[in-house]
Structure 1
């Protein structure tokens, strides 16, 4: 069979690795959470339409209906894609993406290898992938938003610690061929409305209420929504694994000062003591990758994640002081090297997943 140009570019050998076929018991998608808004007035199913013979008839109908009151808009929900493997474990993994991303973060890698979706299905975990409200498949927003067409690929290349464009960091585990980088840039997707932690964590709460107990896995910006989901649904969220989260909720009276960087500061989040206590009742693991400076750096990615790693360690100390169970894993310190901000897509994503699987087993979350 002739190889397609697509699979040639993405490394056919990687995309068709000799793994056994996956056995899926069931799969599907649904929406959870969200709200509905209604326009003023009373809906008339037969509005008067003034036809403009030079305009498209459908647009005339549409424009007339926009003046027709009493209509509803269903939005701000989370969209979920799930797969349940044969002989599934009892506790599913729920995956939430980070900034500018969607569930594609977990589905595959830029060079066509299996992503954490398949890797954990092979470990018999039910997998639920989330597109947060106002992003990706959940694009219907109840607030107005503007989507700009500002070129910014090089900013994200630096922020995600791939290197200093166009050069990759030495030894970085991200696939460095042009086709893979092209695929990575094309997985970026915009918000259709304002990023709202409350709306997103409400969607996660609704998801866990529907599926029951499970473990939440977050990435980057999704981390802050994950902490608040843990506060809102502590009975169902049995553990949280956070991949390079950007901020952390400290209890009132113990919030550290703003932590500074030449590339942007972090103001730590604040919650009540009662809400904070809920996060001390579940095991939590936090991962950070490579190329994070130990001191102020002139390199964007190194310095931005220096302050986030430092804040993560401060937060872990506070949670553990209150009886919690937080572990911060800086991957180079445990012998796993080269990881970018996207360790679930890096060349060693299976090795990082294996470390996470070991933690799940240690905490009794692999039942």
Structure 2
């Protein structure tokens, strides 16, 4: 037994082969007990039982090779004070690959792997330690006995992105206040301020507003025309490690539903956390044997965009049900869970919502 002291949490790793489980061949690096905004481990970390894994690791998947030609050779200095070198930008480039981590608990209870897919302008950090240093859903679901695969979509985080010679469009960037106003943390446009005393937080919000600065550090640039390579990499991941459950957030709705409709034999359940994009209603019947859970947070009715987005999601769910499928829509306030933002996996009651999702998966027969 190899013991790693990790941010105040003893993390037990039993070094057995991941190949013992075919679907779990490549998994991920251990999520450290998160550091709050001040940078120290939360006081509760030492009180937790060790998180025991039978294996962990990471891999890249997908991508393609692209040839660049016709560019002039130039002289560059790769490090300050270094010796200049000539660089020829012509030649083959490896692009559009996706980075994946996996964590395999010693006491596995989930019958299939659980894939976590993040939303737009974000990375797999979405599912890791919360901005204020609490356990994220990655930790929680590993503790619940799930083999978890967490990825950075193509063009995000450790997946990288191609040069403008290959992707000529430009990425978009968000201002510091954009997520505050758009993710139902604040009360819409004009609710964010650089002065913490002037922030207009929605009443009863569960988002850890005191750690908002830590949250916006997770943001990365995103392209608006990169769906094809993202779908290609996710599809290759599904082919590699599934049958599985896909748990996805926001922008990833358009990817997860689409891939499940194309490969229904590979998906045992879909957990849609406020999907920003539904599937194709014309192909709803493809999901008739895949149970679907849709979860929505609070303050939707007073938002400028989310009533329409939720409406499209529910209409898609109705199409699946009309085709003989099973779709459960949970509006958290309706079941007594209030104050949740769009980033409900980070909210202060994230454990309660993780329990709700896990209980649903138990009822669907996906947990031993």
- State the TM-score, normalizing by the size of structure 1: 0.80
| Structure 2 residue corresponding to 1:187, chosen from 209, 218, 223 | 218
Q: RMSD over aligned Cα, in angstroms? A: 2.7
Q: Distance in 2 between matches of 1:215 and 1:338?
A: 27
Q: Distance in 2 between matches of 1:176 and 1:354?
A: 23
Show CA shifts across 1:313-362 (max 9, x none): 22211110111111111001111111100111100000000000011011
1:154 aligns with 2:155: no
Q: Secondary structure at the match of 2:248?
A: strand
Q: Secondary structure at the match of 1:105?
A: helix
Match of residue 315 from structure 2 = 314
| Structure 2 residue corresponding to 1:100, chosen from 107, 121, 134 | 121
Shift of 1:249: 2.8
Residues 83 and 227 from structure 1, CA distance in 2 versus in 1: closer, same or farther, beyond 3 angstroms?
same
Match of residue 108 from structure 2 = 88
Match of residue 169 from structure 1 = 202
Show structure 2 runs of 5+ residues with no match.
Answer: 1-7, 9-34, 193-198
How many residues end up aligned between the 2 structures? 318
1:276-355 equivalences in 2 (<5 Å): 276-293=284-301, 297=302, 302-355=303-356
Contact 1:98 1:220 in 2 (8 A): yes
Shift of 1:22: 0.1
Match of residue 257 from structure 1 = none
1:1-367 equivalences in 2 (<5 Å): 9=38, 12-13=41-42, 16=45, 18-40=47-69, 59-62=84-87, 65-66=88-89, 68=90, 71-89=91-109, 90-141=111-162, 142-147=166-171, 152-163=175-186, 164-165=191-192, 166-177=199-210, 180-191=211-222, 193-251=223-281, 273=282, 275-293=283-301, 297=302, 302-367=303-368
Query: Based on CA coordinates, which of the two structures has the bigger radius of gyration?
Result: 1
Show structure 1 runs of 5+ residues with no match.
Answer: 42-46, 252-272
Q: Secondary structure at the match of 2:94?
A: strand
Show CA shifts across 1:84-122 (max 9, x none): 110223311100100110000001101000000000000
Shift of 1:56: 7.9
- State the TM-score, normalizing by the size of structure 2: 0.79
Q: Distance in 2 between matches of 1:151 and 1:318?
A: 34
Contact 2:171 2:224 in 1 (8 A): no
Contact 2:118 2:252 in 1 (8 A): yes
